[in-house]
Amino acid sequence: MSLNRVELAIHEYIKRHPEERQYIHDKVRGIAAAADETPKAVSMIDAELWRYYEERSSVVPSLREAARADGPRRTSMKNLAELLIRLWSEPKAKRAQKPG
């Protein structure tokens, strides 16, 4: 899986800051557990990661530089959301298919 520049900046930042990683970890697990299906969870986590990035980029120099380089446009966080779901969420039981 390939992360874009913004996703990579967020991922590196949370790897270096345990309290931030725990915050994102709890968000990801909560959303993934509550969502009916993975695509819905990815979409919700994508939006949450973007809000987090916007907030942190105003105070964290490395994220501020990423924001400045990318400009004001919204960047997808879908790949990072999918990665974090795989790493941190409990696998959902698959529904039994009816024979037929």
47 vs 68 pLDDT, higher one: 47
pLDDT of residue 48: 96
Query: Which among 82, 77, 84, 80 has a CA at the least distance from the CA of 29?
Result: 84
Span 71-95, pLDDT tens digits = 778 889 999 999 999 999 877 666 5
Span 2-49, pLDDT tens digits = 999 899 999 999 999 999 999 999 999 999 999 888 899 999 999 999
> What gap in Å lies between CA 28 and CA 17, rounded to an integer?
16
> What gap in Å lies between CA 95 and CA 77, rounded to an integer?
28
